[in-house]
Chains A and B, each alone.
Chain A
Amino acid sequence: MARALRWGVGLLLVVSLSIGAFVLLPFRSWLPGGTVADVPLSQVVNGAAFNRLFPEPQDGDQLVFTQEKRGFSEARLKHDGQVKALLAISDVTTAPEARSKFEASQSRLQGWPLVEQGAQATALLVADRFQVKVIGQGEGLDPEQRQDLLARFNLRGLAALQAPA
């Protein structure tokens, strides 16, 4: 009996130690779910590479960068303190489903497929990898104004961006 008890206590100790180690030690960064859609960070273009490709603001407009993450950069186009539009470039590696809407697209901008999403958003897929988007805010923008903004991005520079090895 005493021997069974000793074994029991020993086993309990081992189990509780290993559970404790798993809970307390910083294993979490090794677990899946750390990155978007579990795509490794090294396969996604850093958002800092997108910043210089945004359009130069014109006639009294102001461009304020608001978010920069791996595979994503966003800025606001403002006029007199009012937000006119959200401008964004993203790497679709982490969102492959975003590609599908361009398949049926008939319209082109500088050779790249163009899609309207709802009343205020226009998206462009460059080099089958980078999505450029303009979303009208506040009073909103016409589709022509949005396409004009899209054309003012440095699309050639964007297409030339390479994924990190």
Chain B
Amino acid sequence: MSSVLERLERLPRRNLTVLAIKGLSTLVPGGWTNITRADALIGDVLGSSDPELIRQVRARADVLSQARHEGYGRALSLYDAVNRSQKAAGGLRLLANIGGALPLVKRVADLTPTSDSLQAADLSLKVAAEMLAFTQVNGLPGDSFGDFAAALGDYAGEARVRMAALICFDALLPLGDQALQRLDGLLGGLHKRDLHQLPAYAGMARLLPGRGDGAHLTFLRRGIEPWLGWAEGFSSQLGLTGQKAVQALEGTLGPWQGSFKQMATFLDAFTDTYQHTGVQAVARRLVERAAAEI
């Protein structure tokens, strides 16, 4: 298994994913830089470019990411699972979109329903994966629930572009501008059998707390509530809408003539935004720890 920093260095410097995040980051103050060099990240955290210190931090980070108990690798495999399922679902929907135009394959289009509530369940799975990854990487910081909530808020603030991408690509574009307000109702209408239609669920089921689909569904509904409160504040503060997201994406990806839903499908099928920013977030936390331990 490759270490976290190796994964960081293998991230693309310029492709569709990077362009999509770049485009979206124009909506978020502070912007986004695509950090793919471990040495640059270490130097940034340490405030020093001494090659000997950077070498020590790097060696320590590799030791830490190879220890299974520390959870850095587990967080990355969570992101990988979500990414694989997003691509599979996106590919199916894309096929259905193309298939819809050909009479013979029209059947396929009817076979791949992506109702709004399944889309909502997909988003709640991503948020749950985010929270599980947070606890894997950071533990449970602080002595009280207040400390933990502050740590979570701080993390979300650091990962603003990542969160904006989650809100726009997985909520506002496929579900419309009222997505966050509607989400509770959509999840309420979900049956536990429906979970098995989500490819990500099979991979994540054993990592979710509770036994059985019913308990998992309850966890997803409850787990998304605190995030939803935060996300509504965040998106109204930045004034995020599907329209604005598409405009921002057009700045880097070029003009788009399809619907918002098709844009969401296209992004699901061809980009890895969730995984890309996830690896960067984990790498930063890992380097902050390694720098403190050398």
Most A-side CB within 10 Å, residue of B53, B141, B143, B157: B141
User: How many Å lie between the Cα of A103 and that of B161 in the bound state?
Assistant: 44
User: Taking the nearest CB of chain A, how far is it from the CB of B279, in angstroms?
Assistant: 17
Q: Is there an interface contact between A67 and B69, defined as CB atoms closer than 8 Å?
A: no
Task: Determine whether A155 belongs to the interface, using a CB cutoff of 8 Å to chain B.
Answer: no
Q: Is there an interface contact between B67 and A117, defined as CB atoms closer than 8 Å?
A: no
Task: Determine whether B251 belongs to the interface, using a CB cutoff of 8 Å to chain A.
Answer: no
Q: Is there an interface contact between B47 and A69, defined as CB atoms closer than 8 Å?
A: no
Residues of B within 8 A of A35 (CB): 67, 69
Q: Contacting A66 at CB < 8 Å: which of B47, B68, B138, B293?
A: B138
User: How many Å lie between the Cα of A4 and that of B258 in the bound state?
Assistant: 68
Closest residue on chain B to residue A95 by CB atoms: B293
Q: Contacting A133 at CB < 8 Å: which of B151, B285, B292?
A: B292
Chain A, 44-86, contact with B by CB distance < 8 Å: what is the 0/1 string? 0001100110000000000011111110111110000100001
Residues of A within 8 A of B84 (CB): none
The stretch from B7-15, B58-66, B85-93, B229-237 touching chain A is B58-66
The stretch from A11-19, A104-112, A134-142 touching chain B is A134-142
User: How many Å lie between the Cα of A70 and that of B139 in the bound state?
Assistant: 9
Give A77-100 interface residues, CB cut-off 8 Å to B: 81, 86, 88, 90, 92, 94-95, 98
User: How many Å lie between the Cα of A65 and that of B142 in the bound state?
Assistant: 6
Task: Determine whether B70 belongs to the interface, using a CB cutoff of 8 Å to chain A.
Answer: yes
Q: Is there an interface contact between B53 and A117, defined as CB atoms closer than 8 Å?
A: yes
Residues of B within 8 A of A69 (CB): 70, 139, 289
Task: Determine whether B200 belongs to the interface, using a CB cutoff of 8 Å to chain A.
Answer: no
User: How many Å lie between the Cα of A98 and that of B57 in the bound state?
Assistant: 11
User: With A64-B151, A95-B294 in contact, do A119 and B47 touch (Cβ < 8 Å)?
Assistant: yes
User: With A35-B69, A41-B69, A51-B143 in contact, do A135 and B291 touch (Cβ < 8 Å)?
Assistant: yes
Q: Is there an interface contact between A33 and B47, defined as CB atoms closer than 8 Å?
A: no
Secondary structure at the B interface, as helix, strand, loop or mixed, is helix
Residues of B within 8 A of A117 (CB): 46, 48, 53, 294
Task: Determine whether B50 belongs to the interface, using a CB cutoff of 8 Å to chain A.
Answer: yes
User: How many Å lie between the Cα of A67 and that of B46 in the bound state?
Assistant: 17
Q: Is there an interface contact between A135 and B46, defined as CB atoms closer than 8 Å?
A: yes
Most B-side CB within 10 Å, residue of A35, A68, A72: A68
Closest residue on chain B to residue A131 by CB atoms: B293
Residues of B within 8 A of A94 (CB): 293
Residues of B within 8 A of A137 (CB): 45, 47
User: How many Å lie between the Cα of A133 and that of B292 in the bound state?
Assistant: 6
Give A5-35 interface residues, CB cut-off 8 Å to B: 28-29, 33-35
Residues of A within 8 A of B138 (CB): 66-68
User: How many Å lie between the Cα of A133 and that of B147 in the bound state?
Assistant: 21
Residues of B within 8 A of A48 (CB): 143
User: How many Å lie between the Cα of A28 and that of B69 in the bound state?
Assistant: 11
Q: Is there an interface contact between A33 and B66, defined as CB atoms closer than 8 Å?
A: yes
Residues of B within 8 A of A163 (CB): none
**Chain A residues in the interface with B (C-beta under 8 A):** 28-29, 33-37, 41, 47-48, 51-52, 64-70, 72-76, 81, 86, 88, 90, 92, 94-95, 98, 117-121, 131, 133, 135-137, 140
Contacts A66-B151, A121-B46 known; list 5 others, CB within 8 Å. Answer: A35-B67, A66-B288, A94-B293, A95-B293, A121-B47
Q: 30 A-B pairs, CB-CB below 8 angstroms?
A: A29-B68, A33-B67, A34-B67, A34-B68, A48-B143, A51-B143, A51-B147, A64-B151, A65-B141, A65-B142, A66-B141, A66-B151, A66-B154, A66-B155, A67-B138, A67-B139, A67-B141, A68-B142, A72-B289, A72-B292, A74-B292, A86-B45, A95-B294, A117-B46, A119-B48, A120-B47, A121-B48, A133-B292, A135-B45, A136-B47
